[in-house]
A and B are shown apart, each in its own frame.
Chain A
């Protein structure tokens, strides 16, 4: 009985130590909430129902907007924070997907946010994956393997297509049609253990449509020169104030 009590005491002391250390581990850094806000001309994007006007006189509806944000990094003067397993499918239809919680970020001031729009080539050739990379999410090409990095669909009077639809499925990881894009945004964010920080990234679609002519470019559904070009346009929709 005495032996048992002694062992019990040891066990309690040990667990206190373990929990103390693991607490130190957990609270090594602070949390940063990264929010992606889909916009059209500065207003919150409304899918399907809101008619948007472009400066060239065309007008359009956006029916669908989904894109991958991966390899998220914060750059500070003391170093770079890299998110582990960084892969997020952002969907304009589901607000829960639009926030990325960066956890355990070392304290300090960060001046730059870096991420990829799309899936890098390694994850394009790694077989069946789960989570946001699960092929059931409608972001994978069956007949020509690879992820769709950006999927945007809608309707415009400028399109002489069935139902006046435009469909942009931008992807491709093999040369010469690699469409993944890196975005670097200047930011000013203080991360501390005491208080979670917020950072908002605007996704301004008017910038995308301002760069192309829907009359001539309205159906891009496979890796191609045009897909790479449009992916380059889409890269410019991101900004952080």
Chain B
């Protein structure tokens, strides 16, 4: 074989390799010093085409009964995929849900989902807001039917899963691929820990970090700022909502008023706070923990009173603001698919 043949051959070989590499580019990287994720990627390997399909589904109101509400209606990127300024989630036809739409990030480390931990796997989580009459009010059977009627999804499913027919499994796996890619690990705090440029913390913030580690880290454990568990954090039950939390799932009185421990990353923008959005400001949250009332299922880590001076409270809040990750909040890959 002459040289004039070899070069184009080698080039095209390289091109094929490059193509294979980019089409399989994982949207998931383990940040330095973080634990291994618990999501089983072998059952649902991340691919660019799977991510893009999931992204379209996430932003598509087709998922709701009257095609008005998408996942992004209550999970906005610029506010950490939470529903800023709304205490309770919104649904079709102006319906109001019963809980605060939580932030979405770093989900590959989470094992239970929803405020009551009722969902046991990330793949299955979208079924809950879809089926809820106060949110999307549409079962996955109908969602998949609509996806198969819509022409534009055939090629997307084909590219992602080698089958143009939409199924429940593939729809949910694609949504997982998008959500798993929503990683926040580049806040000022992260850069401080990694001793990178842009990771400078002021004395006040460092003081806040040490207060945080002393009083909060038992549940809001670094680096995820949640231990992924469920606990009663001492909030008295709201008399209008009468939400008993985890007890709704298990029926056990021991689980009364237990709610999922949320991450505190990007907390600057995920207000209002708590499962029913009762606190508008971070200082309200801190004041809640320094003025706890005892109750029978109160988490044992909160039994001893937390005492903070007015200045210490300010320092703690100053530290929490270092968890804002603008690279994540404004990453165009996670936004509405405009093409």
Task: Give Cα A129–Cα B169 distance, bound, in whole angstroms.
Answer: 5
Partner of B169 from A125, A128, A145 at Cβ < 8 Å: A128
Interface flags, B248-274, vs A, CB<8A=1, else 0: 011100000000000000000000000
| B172 pairs with A128, CB closer than 8 A | yes
Interface residue A56 (Cβ < 8 Å from any Cβ of B): no
| A140 pairs with B127, CB closer than 8 A | yes
Nearest-Cβ distance from residue B220 to partner chain A, whole angstroms: 25
Residues in A whose Cβ lies below 8 Å from that of B119:
143, 145
Task: Give Cα A224–Cα B252 distance, bound, in whole angstroms.
Answer: 11
| A124 pairs with B167, CB closer than 8 A | no
Residues in B whose Cβ lies below 8 Å from that of A174:
250
Task: Give Cα A134–Cα B173 distance, bound, in whole angstroms.
Answer: 11
| A142 pairs with B130, CB closer than 8 A | yes
Chain A count of residues within 8 A CB distance of the other chain: 21
Residues in B whose Cβ lies below 8 Å from that of A130:
167, 169-170
Interface residue A29 (Cβ < 8 Å from any Cβ of B): no
Residues in B whose Cβ lies below 8 Å from that of A136:
140-141, 144, 167-168
Task: Give Cα A195–Cα B23 distance, bound, in whole angstroms.
Answer: 49
| A134 pairs with B128, CB closer than 8 A | no
Interface flags, A97-129, vs B, CB<8A=1, else 0: 000000000000000000000000000111111
Interface residue A135 (Cβ < 8 Å from any Cβ of B): yes
Residues in A whose Cβ lies below 8 Å from that of B170:
128, 130
Residues in B whose Cβ lies below 8 Å from that of A129:
169
Interface residue B213 (Cβ < 8 Å from any Cβ of A): no
Pair count A-B, CB < 8 A: 75
Residues in B whose Cβ lies below 8 Å from that of A79:
none
Task: Give Cα A126–Cα B170 distance, bound, in whole angstroms.
Answer: 14
| A128 pairs with B131, CB closer than 8 A | no
| A142 pairs with B123, CB closer than 8 A | no
Interface flags, A140-168, vs B, CB<8A=1, else 0: 10111110000000000000000000000
Interface residue A138 (Cβ < 8 Å from any Cβ of B): yes
Nearest-Cβ distance from residue A157 to partner chain B, whole angstroms: 30
Interface residue B12 (Cβ < 8 Å from any Cβ of A): no
Residues in A whose Cβ lies below 8 Å from that of B64:
none
Whether A125 contacts B120 in the complex (CB less than 8 A), given A140-B127, A142-B131, comes out as yes
Residues in A whose Cβ lies below 8 Å from that of B167:
130, 134, 136
| A127 pairs with B43, CB closer than 8 A | yes
| B169 pairs with A142, CB closer than 8 A | no
Nearest-Cβ distance from residue B172 to partner chain A, whole angstroms: 4
Task: Give Cα A37–Cα B170 distance, bound, in whole angstroms.
Answer: 33
Nearest-Cβ distance from residue A191 to partner chain B, whole angstroms: 33
Residues in A whose Cβ lies below 8 Å from that of B118:
143-145
Closest partner residue, chain B, to A125 (CB atom): B120
Whether A135 contacts B121 in the complex (CB less than 8 A), given A127-B40, A224-B251, comes out as no
Task: Give Cα A124–Cα B124 distance, bound, in whole angstroms.
Answer: 10
Nearest-Cβ distance from residue A133 to partner chain B, whole angstroms: 8
Closest partner residue, chain B, to A134 (CB atom): B168
Interface residue B132 (Cβ < 8 Å from any Cβ of A): yes
Task: Give Cα A142–Cα B123 distance, bound, in whole angstroms.
Answer: 11
Partner of A128 from B44, B132, B141 at Cβ < 8 Å: B44
Task: Give Cα A142–Cα B173 distance, bound, in whole angstroms.
Answer: 15
Residues in A whose Cβ lies below 8 Å from that of B173:
127-128
Task: Give Cα A124–Cα B141 distance, bound, in whole angstroms.
Answer: 19
**Interchain residue pairs with CB less than 8 A apart (10):** A126-B121, A127-B173, A128-B170, A130-B170, A134-B169, A135-B140, A137-B168, A142-B128, A145-B121, A174-B250
List the 6 closest pairs (A to B, CB-CB), nearest first: A136-B168, A127-B123, A128-B123, A128-B172, A142-B131, A142-B127
Q: Given A143-B114, A143-B118, output 13 extra A-B contacts at Cβ < 8 Å.
A: A124-B120, A125-B120, A126-B43, A127-B44, A128-B124, A128-B169, A128-B172, A128-B173, A130-B169, A136-B141, A140-B127, A142-B124, A143-B128
